[in-house]
Each structure stands twice: as structure tokens, then as C-alpha cells.
Structure 1
């Protein structure tokens, strides 16, 4: 009998591609063939980054990488989520059908399963049309998924209107033990410009309906992290925290080349001494906030490793940055991208100044690193609430009246996070729980085995 052939389809954003690629590597270990489908734009980014890192082959130990059009024109802004989700829904279903047809016409193994991001709900409809079994992959927290699945209830309770906007300002919980969430932080209202909100909210509603076409939903979380959420939605299978391999050597679909020299730089510093700063693939700062952050890191007097993407800030004075780097010297290293899992696993890292994306959150949790939370959009505010209010493994920055986090606020909170023995103890306990879950016999390990069995059994 031929090995099962899975078509893996992420939402076209860095934070969605990485965990599905990690899951795909794990599936390959169990004899499952994977064709990983990126949009053409992202496919090019991934291949270029792999080539720069010395791994340029479009086939990765059983994972075949392919690209399909996303429906946008060459010059369109693919970080405009409203425009992106509209193009995906309109154009990608036919491209996905064509891809399946080409794979089968070429004599390749017939596609037996689609494992698609919940954010690509239209793909489950394509799978049903083609007679392909479907599984839903959720890249965020179970609490985040719960917040979207509860939209009808939120409307009925008068918390939001039928367009998704809050009808009142309040903090609420879906169940005791779940992260408190303020109505101003609902994900679909914090995913870009207000003009894009209607398209994004309608996408969420459609995805919730299409998700029911999948036979199972798996997510990158673990039971002890979110017991209340999994009690609320027991059909969601947590299989995380995900990682591709214990040596962190397998490519996971990064868009930018990883600057591995930071690992040698970290080797020179004592245990729990370095402040690691990274804000993911979407966060953008204005020059004033960037400068305050830089000055705050300098003010700590601690060594720091700071990830600054090429598009992280626009309009910054190069002479200012050059002078800053001259002042901090070897005690501060700025890179454009880094192997984050290896960084967070390094003994020298003392805390993580983070946007609280769920991948970063799970990576920090698994490596026992306390957080200083600085969320930017979508689910990151809810993740911050988990870290600060439920797990109590970090603190949050507070913006001033002008919306700016000052250098004094940053440096003061860094010292509090690093110096808090209670945070350190809770971080260690949550790390141990995460590692137990993915070890032999752990809850996530057993859930992953169930998932693999479902994919393998005809």
C-alpha cells in the first residue's frame, strides 16, 4: 500500500508557515509523503532563504515544496491583510484544484489528505469537491480559536454587533482559567487598517463554517497550557509545542536567511544575562519608538540580541543608528533574522522582549524563558493575557499617553522580569509541563500518534 500523501496548505504568512512545516517534518518521520503549498511569492522567499542558509533543494527529506499564485499583482502589498484574504478566496480555489490535477496526472501518489490552515477555510470546500479527506491545522492558541468560534454567542450576548465591532468596553472570559480579553483586543478588529475589518471578519465567519468539513482539528499547543480552553472544546487535539527536530537543523520555511553568528556571540555571555528582542514578521515601529526601544536596551546595561528586519522601521536616521551601535559596542548585537529556537534554548538568554506571537510564545515556554510582552496585533493581546494573567510568566510594557513605550519603562520592566523569583519558578514549571507533553507518553505525543493513525488508515 502506498504511503499517504498529504497536501499541506498554510495561510500565507511567516507565523503560519513555520508551525505547519514543523508538523510536516514530523509527519514525514512517520512515513507520510507531504507536498507543501506556498503562494508563489512566499515559495520564492523560502527557497532564497534556504539557499542562503545552504539548503536550496526544493525537496526536504520527503517534503516537496511547490508554489501557486495568490491572485495578487506583482506590486501589491501582501501585508495588506484585507486585500490578501480577498484575493485568496477569489483565486486560490481553482489554483489548488489545478495543482491536485497536475500531481495526479504526473503519475505521482494520489493526494489522500489535505491538512490546511483554518485561515484557508475555502480549501476544505475544495477538498470535499475533489473527494479528499481534510484536517484543520490551527496555528494559534486554543483560546484564540475559541474566541472566533464564540462569535455567535458574543453577538447574542450583546458584546459585539453583527459586523464584529464591540458594543461596549469591557473585559470578559469565556471560562474560568482562560485568558481575560478586553473587547478592544478582539483579533478581527486588530488585524490591520479599520477599512479591512469587514473583509477579515467575514473571512473568520466563513472559516468557522468551513472548518466543520474537516474531520479533525489539531493545534500547536499543549493541555497543561490551556486546560480550560480544551475543556470548552475537547475535540481540538493539541500536538505542541511543535518543533521540526531536536537539533533545529531542518528548514521550517523562513522568509529571511538566519544569521547564525548570534549563537557564537551568545556563547561569550554568562548564563541568564542576555536580553533577547524580537517582534516577528509583521510588527512595524516608527522611528521615535524604535529609538526609545534602543535607548531602553542601552539603559539596562545588559547585553542584548535584537532582531531588526529590513522592513521593521522606515525613516530611521542611519547616522543615529550607527552612533548607537558604536556606543553599545560588542554588548549589543543587531541581526536581521535569527534561528530563534536555538537562541531561546541558549543558556545565556535571560528574558524575551516579544510581540507575543503564538509561535514565539510556545518557543519561549518550551525553553523556560520569561517574557516582557509588547503585542502588536490579532491574537497577540490574548497571548499576552495568558503570559501575564494566567501563567504569570512575564510582565507587559505600558504605553504612555502618546502611545510610546519609553526607555525607562522598557529598562525598568526588563529588570523586574529578570529579577522576579516567582516568575522564574513559574516559567520553569510551565517549561517542564511542555516538555512532558511532547515526551513519550505525554498528552501531545499521544494526540500526535492519534493524528498519524487517522492519516494512515484508509
Structure 2
């Protein structure tokens, strides 16, 4: 008998949104660099946004292979009409993803002769359909959390929180001491009800998104292995244990950072941005002083009212601070923003407005000294990794959790008090000016930058050889390689 080692084959399935495709694409490259064969499955809608022509995905796979990274891309039809609003019609979008399991099984079986035997399904935490895929193919289901550990624990235990009366959320009473949430597993700080998903703020439990998130939270626990896009030093080495039900639960992030730290001009970048990045803004940043620029971006999904965008603009103008502002074409509730009359002329070269920015390059630039952000986990973790303190402007999902933790737990952030009290409140230009000035030129901002610099160092150490995330990835690699191994005559 001769012993051979087969490469592990991970099927990686992101939720079809940029904030989920990005981290799972980074993780796919990490796995491929560790000897895995990776199949990356998108919906056809997302595939067409990322790869503009049918041949693009094959070309990228070939380029990756030239660097020794075996990643192939497959796509399944999402069942929605071409003109569907996607994540802007979020409940329909989620319900469509929950039906994708059989299509994924069919495409994996029909292409089985093109790849090694499947070792595991690495699934986004919001792709409940992969439970069917893993069961049908008799392989482990590895749940990849695109949240930090404490937010993930809260979501995975939604049923418990509902049974104890924390859900639906009473926002007005959330901060009362008697409403502190201390019943969750894992060693995490006490939560308040408004740290939980904003979809639970509706009072009608028959609400479609309320039901969608409750269902997803139950399937999130149907795992054989858990990986979290965070590093142990941020939340403590034992926080992740709250996501385990007898199987490993490992912090392995920030998953974007190894590739960023090791990137070269010759490395292959898989462009998952849904808008064209304005690279000229980097040249503009180079003209600004150290830590002087406020970066303003609300991610790939969030929208605001036109009135709120105008108040924000006037607050940035009044602050007299340099700023780089990402204004997506659909930021104003699906429409382009209309800025106050004369605004661009008045700010001149002090401000730069772009439709989309290369965020990693921006946050890592030495002229950036603060980040006004929606506090999505990707943006929050990237800001932490580059030592940039944040002004939180959370809008939905778990962003209120991330914002509060940045301010009260990790001591690297500020927020707007009006939004803490009422998520629908209009943040005035006066409050914007006051908070921006405090971040960019006040002693509090300087202290936050010092704290953020310490976390930047910890994040970098975590992903380097011997660091906590690196060691956890070693364990995952060993476990999956052992499963893939076979002995044949």
C-alpha cells in the first residue's frame, strides 16, 4: 500500500453582496496559498458585477494558477428577474439565496471530474442554503463569520434572546441597567438590546426580515467548524468559544491583511469592487499632511436621505478639516446626491469627492487620521488594522454593535449622540462639525489614534507567522488536510 496526500478542496460560498464576497475572496486566496484547491461559488448576478465578460473568471483563474493558487469560479442563477433591486430589496434577496442549495449541488456534481474530491463547504454565515449542500455531499460545513465574535454570538443566539424578551427590541429602554444582556455564551462584554440586529427593532415578529434573520440564526448553529474574521487580541482568546457547540471556533482574521502586507506588483488581484475605484484620490492624499484627512465612506449598500447628505456636507465644510468623501451613485436612497449649492467651489482642494475609493490604500495612507464610517465589520476591521480611529454613523444590521464597541470597549471611536438615541434622527451640521473637529484636532482624537495604533500592531502580529490567527489557520489547514488524506493500494 502506498500513502498519498490529496490536496484539500474547499468550496467557498459568500452571500452575494460586496461586503461578504470581499472577505471570503481574501480567505479563498489564503487557502489556495496553503495548498487547497478552491471552488468559489457566486450567484450569476454577482458574477456579472465582478467579472464583466464570461471569459474574465477563467482568465483570473489562469492568472492565479500561474502563482500556484488553484481557484476556479462557478455561478448559479439566483432566480430573480434581471431588474430586481438586489440587496435594496433585502428580504426578497435573502429568500432567494435560501433556495440555492439544489442548484449548487447540481453544479458541483456536474463539475466533479474537474477538481479533487470536495473536503468541506466554507460558507458565509448568511447562506443557510449551504446546509443542504453539505448534507447532500456528506462533507463538513465550515461557517465563516463576517462579524466579530461578540456580534456573531448575539446573532447565533437570537432564539434565546427572543425567549428572554430582549427581542423585539425596545429602543427607548435599551440602555436601562436591568436590560443588560449577560446570558450569552463566550466571554464577551455585556450587550445592550440595541447592539442586536436592527431587523429585530420592528415590533411585528411576522415581519419578513425578522423571520429571515431568525431562520438564518438557527442554521448558523448547524456547523461542523467555525471561523471568525477577527483576531484574538481584539476580543480575547476565549470570546470565540461562544460560537462552538463542541466543534472548533477559531479567530483567523483580518483575512485581508496577509495579502495586503505581502502584495507585490506581480500579484494577482481579484477585483470584487462593484464600482470603479478612483485611484487619483491617492495622489490627492499625498498632498496632505500626516493624519490630517478625514475619510468618509458608508460602504456598498447603505443609503441616506438627501436632507441628511446635505447636512453632512455642510458639517464637513464647517469643520474646516481636509476630507475624502465617497459618494456612491446610489447613495441618496437610490439616486445620486445633490450637494448644497456652491459646496464644491467653497471647499476647493480641501475636500475630494469620489464615487468609489480603493479603501485599503486610503486607510493605509499616512495622511488619513480618521474614518467617518457606517461601521460595517469589513470597514471597522480594516480601520483597526491600519490604526485609524473612527467616527461611527451606523445605519443597520450589526453596525450599532460595532460602533458602540469601538467607542466604549476598544476606545478607538466616537459617535453622534443623536443617532445613539434615535437611528432615524437627522444629524445636524453643527453636530457633524463638533465631532469631526474633536476627532481631527482635539486631544480626544489624539488619544484614540494612540489606542488604534496599538491595535494595528496587534492585528499585524496576529496574521504573521507565529501569531494567533496564523496558528489558528495552521490548525484549520491540518484538520482539513487530514480529512482529505486517503490511503490507496
TM value normalised by structure 1: 0.90
Show CA shifts across 1:10-38 (max 9, x none).
11111111110111111111111212111
Q: Are 1:68 and 1:96, in contact at CA under 8 Å, matched by a contact in 2?
A: yes
* 1:110 shift after superposition: 3.0
Q: Which ranges in structure 1 are unaligned for 5 or more consecutive residues?
A: none
Q: 2:223 aligns with which of 209, 214, 232?
A: 214
1:399 counterpart SS class = helix
1:317 and 1:145 map into 2 onto residues whose CA distance is 33
Q: Which ranges in structure 2 are unaligned for 5 or more consecutive residues?
A: 65-69, 485-489
- 2:327 match: 308
Change (3 A) 1:50 1:137: farther
Q: Are 2:328 and 2:336, in contact at CA under 8 Å, matched by a contact in 1?
A: no
* 1:50 shift after superposition: 12
* 1:207 shift after superposition: 3.3
Q: Are 2:329 and 2:337, in contact at CA under 8 Å, matched by a contact in 1?
A: no
1:93 and 1:231 map into 2 onto residues whose CA distance is 28
* 1:69 shift after superposition: 1.1
* 1:446 shift after superposition: 0.5
2:195 and 2:276 map into 1 onto residues whose CA distance is 32
Q: Within the alignment, does 1:102 sit opposite 2:110 as a pair?
A: yes
* 1:337 shift after superposition: 1.1
* 1:82 shift after superposition: 0.8
Q: Within the alignment, does 1:360 sit opposite 2:369 as a pair?
A: no
* 1:83 shift after superposition: 0.7
Q: Are 1:238 and 1:447, in contact at CA under 8 Å, matched by a contact in 2?
A: yes
Q: Within the alignment, does 1:275 sit opposite 2:294 as a pair?
A: yes
1:415 and 1:87 map into 2 onto residues whose CA distance is 44
* 1:216 shift after superposition: 0.9
- 1:28 match: 32
Q: Are 1:49 and 1:257, in contact at CA under 8 Å, matched by a contact in 2?
A: no
- 2:458 match: 433
Q: Are 2:418 and 2:427, in contact at CA under 8 Å, matched by a contact in 1?
A: yes
* 1:169 shift after superposition: 2.7
* 1:251 shift after superposition: 2.3
- 1:40 match: 44
**CA RMSD across the alignment:** 2.8
Show CA shifts across 1:150-177 (max 9, x none).
22332332323xxx45598323243797
- 1:88 match: 97
5 Å-filtered alignment, 1:264-343, equals 264-314=283-333, 318=338, 320=339, 323-343=342-362
Q: Within the alignment, does 1:409 sit opposite 2:418 as a pair?
A: no
5 Å-filtered alignment, 1:54-73, equals 57-59=59-61, 61=64, 62-73=70-81
TM value normalised by structure 2: 0.84
2:433 and 2:131 map into 1 onto residues whose CA distance is 47
* 1:323 shift after superposition: 2.8
- 1:245 match: 260
1:74 counterpart SS class = coil
Q: Are 1:189 and 1:197, in contact at CA under 8 Å, matched by a contact in 2?
A: no
Q: 2:369 aligns with which of 336, 343, 350?
A: 350
